[in-house]
A and B are shown apart, each in its own frame.
Chain A
Amino acid sequence: SQQGEEDPQALSIQEGENATMNCSYKTSINNLQWYRQNSGRGLVHLILIRSNEREKHSGRLRVTLDTSKKSSSLLITASRAADTASYFCATVPLNRDDKIIFGKGTRLHILP
């Protein structure tokens, strides 16, 4: 069964605004990752945050992790049209570190 649930399912914002997507998961994890998928193509890895980390940055991306609430958020600052894509959180379970379990994803649309 799926581990992660993203919220919202879809998000439309104006170019230049910040976009925040949330992810909740059910079981203990080794790490949590965020991926981007452009229109039915392959996924691109964005960032990985380990269970003992609380925040991580990469360029315009900021990821937080709250293991007590089993939740994570992905913030994209100063959004651009090219950020339009689906974003998935993915977890590596603590008891099954040989697999990555994907959430349902958030469809982000950046309006010009």
Chain B
Amino acid sequence: SAVISQKPSRDICQRGTSLTIQCQVDSQVTMMFWYRQQPGQSLTLIATANQGSEATYESGFVIDKFPISRPNLTFSTLTVSNLSPEDSSIYLCSVSSTGVGTEAFFGQGTRLTVV
């Protein structure tokens, strides 16, 4: 298993600003993922954070809006840039420690409200 610490747990941000979310894992993991969960909805994969290379973004998500860093095998950040009210969501970090397509572990999420 993996224990994930995600910070901040919540934030209220002004329109036009940015928020950086941190994800720290207690062990080295191969795969790290960032999801968005809009109110009352399911999880949508934003991107896969790759260690030592650029993140792989899903359709509809771009690097300029959601820059991601992954400097090592235990840490990643997601920045949500140029915030608008439509960005109000829960953002979740997830890891898979036993290989692709297997059990995923999640952080507690970051609840973002844009005003």
Q: Which residues does A use to contact B, with CB under 8 Å?
A: 2, 30-31, 33, 35, 40-45, 48, 88, 90, 92, 97-105
Contacts and interface: CB of A to CB of B under 8 A. Distances in A.
A33 B31 CA distance: 17
Interface residues of B, number: 26
21 contacts: A2-B42, A33-B103, A40-B90, A40-B109, A40-B111, A42-B4, A42-B92, A42-B106, A45-B105, A48-B102, A48-B103, A88-B42, A97-B100, A98-B31, A98-B48, A99-B48, A100-B33, A100-B45, A100-B96, A102-B42, A104-B41
Q: Which 4 A-B pairs have the closest CB atoms?
A: A42-B106, A97-B101, A92-B101, A102-B43
Nearest to A98: B100
A100 B35 CA distance: 11
A28 B29 CA distance: 27
B101 A43 contact: no
A40 B44 CA distance: 15
Given A40-B90, A40-B109, A100 B104 contact: yes
Contacts of B105: 45
Interface in B61-105: 90, 92, 94, 96, 100-105
Contacts of B104: 33, 35, 43, 45, 90, 100
B59 to A, nearest CB: 9
Interface string B17-42: 00000000000000101010000011
Contact of B42 (A31, A98, A99, A104): A104
